[in-house]
Chains A and B, each alone.
Chain A
Amino acid sequence: DMKVTQMPRYLIKRMGENVLLECGQDMSHETMYWYRQDPGLGLQLIYISYDVDSNSEGDIPKGYRVSRKKREHFSLILDSAKTNQTSVYFCASSRDSQDTQYFGPGTRLLVL
């Protein structure tokens, strides 16, 4: 069963705290993504990973970093979270960077 999972699904943090969002996929997809989506808006690409330890900045990488040590896992880290990072974060994976993307259920992050 093709699946992308995200943990946690909901998270409340205080400004300045560190945040770790985790994503997993069971399709052996090479490419994985982190997006954020603000109310009423489309998807903004934060980072793209083409394979293990092969990560590239997306359109809004400032304030974020990523880690991909295994093909099936991709983490998004917010060092010292800011209130403007309150958003819904989606992870996605695809066979390659120009193929259909499969999205996880999202993580709703609130930074107070």
Chain B
Amino acid sequence: QQKVQQSPESLIVPEGAMTSLNCTFSDSASQYFAWYRQHSGKAPKALMSIFSNGEKEEGRFTIHLNKASLHFSLHIRDSQPSDSALYLCAGTGGYKVVFGSGTRLLVSP
């Protein structure tokens, strides 16, 4: 069964810094990988997804998938206080999507 591990558990970065969040998974056969973001008191919301090895950029956010090393990452350029949230990594496992336990990001002004 797919296992998804996230690191670090929590992170504090200054406004304007680059933030890097990491995820490792156990099953390289997975087809779908995604990052979700959850602001405090709100529902999780899909941020970006990717289906094959490589990189994808949308605005300040970049995701990178390397199936050979079982590694999936999210990078946030010019981090803003509004980026403070719980970030959840997700990957397919069997017939469902499996979530990691999350990284709590705090961007300090």
Contacts and interface: CB of A to CB of B under 8 A. Distances in A.
Contacts of A40: 104
Select the residue from B36, B43, B95, B104 with max chain A CB neighbours within 10 A: B43
- If over half of B's interface residues share one DSSP class (helix, strand or loop), that class is named, otherwise mixed; here it is strand
Interface residues of A, number: 22
Interface in A60-77: none
B88 A97 contact: no
Contact of B102 (A42, A98, A101): A42
Interface string A83-112: 000000010101001111111111000000
A101 to B, nearest CB: 7
Interface of A is mostly: loop
A92 B97 CA distance: 12
B101 A103 contact: no
Contacts of A41: 101-102
Nearest to B41: A106
